[in-house]
Amino acid sequence: MAFVLKDGQGTLHRNDKDGNEARPDYRGEVMIAGTLYRLSGWIKNGQKGKWMSLSAEVPQQEAPAPKQKTIDPDGDIPF
C-alpha cells in the first residue's frame, strides 16, 4: 500500500544535487488544507549553527491542450 499524505503531513528526502549547488538539499511534499505543496529545503550555516531554509510552492498544473480548429470543406473560403 502506498503512503498517502493526510492534511497537515509532509515528507522531506535528501535531494541529488548532481553538482549544482543551487539545488535544494532536500525535496518533498506537504498537504495543507487539501492542497499539495512541493517543499524544498537548504541547509544553511549561521551564527547559532546549522539551520534549514524552506520554500513551499503549489505544483503548476499542466495547461490543457489547445482546441483543434475544424475546417468545413464546404464552407466559404475567406479570400
Domain assignment of residue 73, yes or no: no
Domain assignment of residue 75, yes or no: no
What percentage of the chain carries pLDDT values higher than 70?
A: 75
d(CA 30, CA 22): 22
Output the CA angle 22-8-38, nearest 5 degrees.
25
User: Which three cell numbers, joined as nine digits, stand for 8?
Assistant: 497537515
Q: Which residue range(s) make up the domain with 34?
A: 10-57
- 3-state helix vs strand vs coil in the chain, percent to 5: 0, 40, 60
Report the pLDDT value the prediction gives residue 59, as an integer from 0 to 100: 79
Domain assignment of residue 3, yes or no: no
Give per-residue pLDDT as tens, 46-75.
999 999 999 999 877 765 666 666 666 666
Total domains present in the chain? 1
Residue with more model confidence, 40 or 4: 40
